[in-house]
Amino acid sequence: MTQFLWQDRDQREYAYVFNPRPECLALIQREPTVALDIGCGSGAVGQALRQRFPHCALWGCEFDPTAAELARQHFDQVVEHDVETVDFNALGLRKPFDLICLFDVLEHLVNPWQLLHGLLRIVAPDAQVLVSLPNASNLPMLYDALRGHWHYRRWGLLDFTHLRFFTDFDARKMFYQAGYRVLDHRVTYLGEGGAIFQRHRGERFPLSLIVGELSIKVQSVDDLSRLCADQNLYLITPHHGELLDDTERAMASAAYPHTFAFGGD
């Protein structure tokens, strides 16, 4: 008998792709001394950090016991509890984390704002916090929705376990409200969105982008990138309130500014 996605999603044998996430680790600007990988899976990021920063103390946090056991090969300590409830000092943490990795984590949480804000208690004042988030403004995905199709899957932009969806603007708004500012932002392109970006990025703007029966007026290469990216990658750091400039304060409370219009030329 065929199992539907909602029936077999949690019955499958544990399996994470052993992915060291080089595109995310490329955002690191200085050598860390104490790092925490939240949702560390079977330890690929830990292995990459160990190779690159051999003197860094590595901590992991992973709910799945099978994954956590594998990850212990690459981390000094792996915690199998909710990171918001862990007493890291009692476990031997001697100084705040100056690197936090949140790769494909926040979109799975009911309240990612709370997690980000709570991390401020265990991070250094100038900590590097790396975040990857699926891009909810991905045009191929939105086009499917406009045609009446919303396909949940076992992975990707519409992973069955995703609870939150963020565009770049809304991700930045979340960071600022939770106590962080963005130091660097990059995107990744895969599949149809990447093909669209490569095909049109060299054209003159504004341009009318045609996808199936849909026509969108795109004002800049930045807007095109926003529509084609599959993931947004961020380096953020605590802002301590007083460091926010006027632009960041406005973004923390603003409604989304419309940057493209439907219709032809």
How sure is the predictor about 165, in pLDDT bands with cuts at 50, 70 and 90? very high
Band of residue 259 on the pLDDT scale cut at 50, 70, 90: very low
Higher-confidence residue: 209 or 129?
129
| pLDDT reading at 9 higher than 70 | no
- Residue 263 belongs to some domain of the structure: no
Query: Which residue range forms the structural domain that includes residue 251?
Result: 22-191+230-257
| 187 lies in some domain | yes
Query: Is 155 a member of any domain?
Result: yes
Mean pLDDT on 97-105: 97
Region 238-245: mean pLDDT is 74
Query: What mean pLDDT do residues 152-170 have?
Result: 88
Cα distance between residue 103 and residue 132, in whole Å? 5
| Count: domains in the chain | 1
CATH number at residue 155: 3.40.50.150
Q: What is the mean pLDDT of residues 153-168?
A: 87
The confidence band for 247, taking pLDDT boundaries of 50, 70 and 90, is low
Higher pLDDT, 163 or 250: 163
Q: Decide which of 216 and 253 is more confident.
A: 216
Q: Judge whether residue 202 has pLDDT over 60.
A: yes
Listed range (6-10, 15-19, 67-71, 149-153) with the worst mean pLDDT: 6-10
Tens-digit pLDDT profile for residues 209-236: 888 888 889 999 999 999 999 999 999 9
- Is the model's pLDDT at 260 over the cut of 50? no
101, pLDDT greater than 80: yes
154, 164 Cβ separation under 8 angstroms = no
From CA 193, how far away is CA 198, in angstroms rounded? 9
In this predicted structure, what is the pLDDT of residue 44?
Answer: 97
Crossing angle of helices 139-146 and 191-200, in 10° steps, is 110
DSSP code string of the chain: -PPPHHHHTTTSPP-------HHHHTT--S--SEEEEET-TTSHHHHHHHHH-TTSEEEEE-S-HHHHHHHTTT-SEEE-S-TTT--TTTTT--S-EEEEEEES-GGG-S-HHHHHHHHTTTEEEEEEEEEEEEBTT-HHHHHHHHTT----BSSSTTBTT----B-HHHHHHHHHHHTEEEEEEEEE--HHHHHHHHHHTTS-SSEEEEETTEEEEE-SHHHHHHHH-SEEEEEEEE-TTTT--HHHHHHHHPPPPP-EEES--
- Could you tell me the pTM of the whole model? 0.89
User: Does residue 15 fall inside a structural domain?
Assistant: no
Looking at residue 21, what is its pLDDT?
Answer: 96
The chain-wide mean pLDDT, for the chain, equals 88
